[in-house]
Chains A and B, each alone.
Chain A
Amino acid sequence: MTTTLQKTEKQTTVFSFTGKGSELFAIEIVNFALTLVTLGLYYPWAKAKTLQYLYRKTEMAGTPFVFHGTGKEMFIGFIKGIGVMVLLYTFLFLAGMADAVFVQVLFFFIFLVGFLVLVPVALHGMMKYRTSRTSWRGIHMGYRGELSDMVSKYLMGFILSVVTLGIYGPWFVVSLRKEMLDNVRFGNVRLRYVGEGSDLLLLHVKGYFLSIFTLGIYLFWYMKDLLNFYINNIVVVQEDGTYSRLQCHVTGWDYLKLAVGNLFIVVFTLGLAIPWATTRTMSLLLHKTVMSGHFDADALVQTEEAYDSATYESMTDMMDIGVI
Chain B
Amino acid sequence: MFEGKYYNGHTSKGIPAHITLEPDGILIAHDTGEEQGTVFWQLENIHQSEFNDAITLLRYGHFPQQSISVVDKRFQEALQRQYRGATFLKSNYKAVLNLGCTGLALLGTLMLSLFVAFGIWGVPALADRAALFFPRDYERQLGEQLYQQMLQGYEMDAEKSAALKDYLEELDTQLDYPITVAVVTDDEVNAFAIPGGFVVVHAGILDKMERHEELAALMGHELAHVRNRHSLRAITRSLSYYMLASLLFGDVSGVAAVIVDNASALRNLEYSRSLEQEADEEGLALLRQNQLNPQGMVWLLERLQSGDSSEMLAFLSTHPNTDERIQTIEQKIGEGQQVHQPNPQLEQLWQQLKN
A residues contacting B by CB (< 8 A) are 18, 22-23, 25-27, 29-30, 32-33, 35-36, 39-40, 43, 49, 52-53, 56-57, 63-64, 66, 85, 89, 92-93, 96-97, 99, 135-140, 187, 270, 272, 297-302, 304, 306-307, 317-320
Shortest Cβ distance from A283 into chain B, in angstroms? 14
Ordered by A's residue number, 6 sampled pairs between the chains whose C-beta atoms are within 8 Å are A18-B54, A26-B96, A26-B104, A306-B63, A317-B250, A318-B251
Contact with A along B45-82 (1 / 0, CB 8 A): 00000110111010100111111010000000000000
**Cβ–Cβ < 8 Å partners of A56 in chain B:** 50-51, 57
B39 at interface by CB-CB < 8 Å: no
Task: State which of B190-198, B257-265, B286-294, B306-314 sits at the interface with chain A.
Answer: B257-265
With contacts A26-B97, A57-B51, A302-B64 taken as known, whether A97 is within 8 angstroms of B104 at the C-beta atoms is: no
A138 touches B66 (CB 8 A): yes
Q: Interface centre among A93, A138, A297, A318, by most B CB within 10 Å?
A: A138
State the CA gap A187–B8 with chains docked (Å).
Answer: 14
A318 touches B246 (CB 8 A): yes
Shortest Cβ distance from A168 into chain B, in angstroms? 24
Further contacts, 10 of them, CB under 8 A, given A53-B51, A301-B10, A302-B9: A40-B243, A49-B93, A64-B57, A89-B255, A92-B256, A97-B142, A137-B12, A301-B11, A318-B252, A319-B251
Shortest Cβ distance from B112 into chain A, in angstroms? 6
State the CA gap A138–B249 with chains docked (Å).
Answer: 33
Contact with A along B261-285 (1 / 0, CB 8 A): 0011000000000000000000000
State the CA gap A301–B57 with chains docked (Å).
Answer: 20
Among B54, B108, B145, B260, which residue has its beta carbon within 8 angstroms of that of A272?
A: B108
**Cβ–Cβ < 8 Å partners of A92 in chain B:** 256, 259-260
B259 touches A96 (CB 8 A): yes
Say which size band chain B's interface belongs to: 35 or more
Among A93, A300, A304, which residue has its beta carbon within 8 angstroms of that of B11?
A: A300
B12 touches A318 (CB 8 A): no
Shortest Cβ distance from A258 into chain B, in angstroms? 20
Residue of A whose beta carbon sits closest to that of B99: A26
With contacts A136-B12, A298-B11, A301-B11 taken as known, whether A307 is within 8 angstroms of B63 at the C-beta atoms is: yes
A-B residue pairs, 6 tightest by C-beta: A300-B12, A96-B263, A137-B12, A138-B7, A298-B13, A320-B251
State the CA gap A136–B64 with chains docked (Å).
Answer: 12
Among B101, B108, B114, B263, which residue has its beta carbon within 8 angstroms of that of A97?
A: B263
B residues contacting A by CB (< 8 A) are 7-14, 50-51, 53-55, 57, 59, 62-67, 69, 92-93, 96-97, 99, 101, 104, 107-108, 111-112, 114-115, 118, 126, 142, 145-146, 148-149, 243, 246-247, 249-253, 255-256, 259-260, 263-264
A297 touches B12 (CB 8 A): yes
**Cβ–Cβ < 8 Å partners of A35 in chain B:** 247
B256 touches A89 (CB 8 A): yes
B104 touches A299 (CB 8 A): no
A99 touches B256 (CB 8 A): no
Residue of B whose beta carbon sits closest to that of A186: B12
State the CA gap A43–B256 with chains docked (Å).
Answer: 21
**Cβ–Cβ < 8 Å partners of B259 in chain A:** 89, 92-93, 96
State the CA gap A136–B66 with chains docked (Å).
Answer: 11
**Cβ–Cβ < 8 Å partners of B145 in chain A:** 97, 99
B114 touches A36 (CB 8 A): yes
